[in-house]
Amino acid sequence: MNDARLPAAEAVESHVRAFFKGHSVEVVACDLGPERREAMPDLRVLVVGPGPRSDSWAYVTAGCWGVMEKDGHGLEFVMTAHVRDQRFIDLMTMIAYYHGGGHQLDLEHSMPIGEPWVPGSACDHLLISLPYLHGPDLEHCPLPGGHTRILWTLPVTAAEIEFRRREGHEALEHLFDDAEIIPTDPFRASVV
């Protein structure tokens, strides 16, 4: 086991707490089951309540870095949502395991959820993007002997993913900007 895993997860937690000063932060251990837990033993999800920085909830992984880091650099993920719900903790656990289980995610990648983001939502994929709602101060997290980037997992539709494949990531982001999407709205219309 990489001796840096636990200190890295703790450093991510400290970074998130500092960034979201004035917000409640709950640490939720992830139940991956025995086989999966061995692959990601330090995984947790930080659940950040609304506060001075944002009126939305944020869900941040802590523990991905230690599984997939290369030369001290790796990723963690953040999702924003309109409410606190176990569903989003489960999704963050799924993203972390997907990333650490052989489907290494990175900026501009996507991942199918296999079902709606929430019941009734057209969003059934996640797009890995820069954390525009929170900015580079959340994105860049120094770690002992390295660095992690905290990237945004934005719920999107299958049609939006298909558009991105044809036209490119930047073209899709322009559509999001033009439509002025509310990224925490689970019932937003597809932009394509």
Please report, in angstroms and rounded to a whole number, the separation of the first and last CA atoms in the chain. 45
Other CB atoms within 10 Å distance of the CB of residue 14? 12
User: 128-161: per-residue pLDDT in tens?
Assistant: 999 999 999 999 999 888 899 999 999 999 999 9
**CA 171 to the chain's CA centroid:** 21
User: 62-101: per-residue pLDDT in tens?
Assistant: 988 877 788 889 999 999 999 999 999 999 998 998 888 7
Nearest 5 degrees, angle CA 111-CA 151-CA 5? 100
Cα 180 to Cα 103: distance, rounded to the nearest angstrom = 31
Q: Output the six-digit token pair for 116.
A: 């709606």
Query: Residue 42 in contact with residue 63, Cβ under 8 Å?
Result: yes
Cα 28 to Cα 46: distance, rounded to the nearest angstrom = 6
Compute CA distances 34 → 3, 38, 44, 63, 91, whole Å.
21, 7, 15, 16, 18
Q: Which residue has the higher pLDDT, 19 or 29?
A: 19
In sequence order, the β-bridge partners of residue 76 are 150
Amino acid identity for residue 9 in this structure: A
Q: Which of 32-41, 102-111, 126-135, 175-184 has the lowest mean pLDDT?
A: 32-41
The SS3 assignment for 29 reads strand
User: 171-181: per-residue pLDDT in tens?
Assistant: 999 999 999 99
Nearest to 145, CA basis, from 17, 11, 39, 45: 11
**What is the predicted pLDDT for the residue at 4?**
63
Compute CA distances 159 → 111, 130, 162, whole Å.
13, 20, 5
Query: Residue 87 in contact with residue 95, Cβ under 8 Å?
Result: no
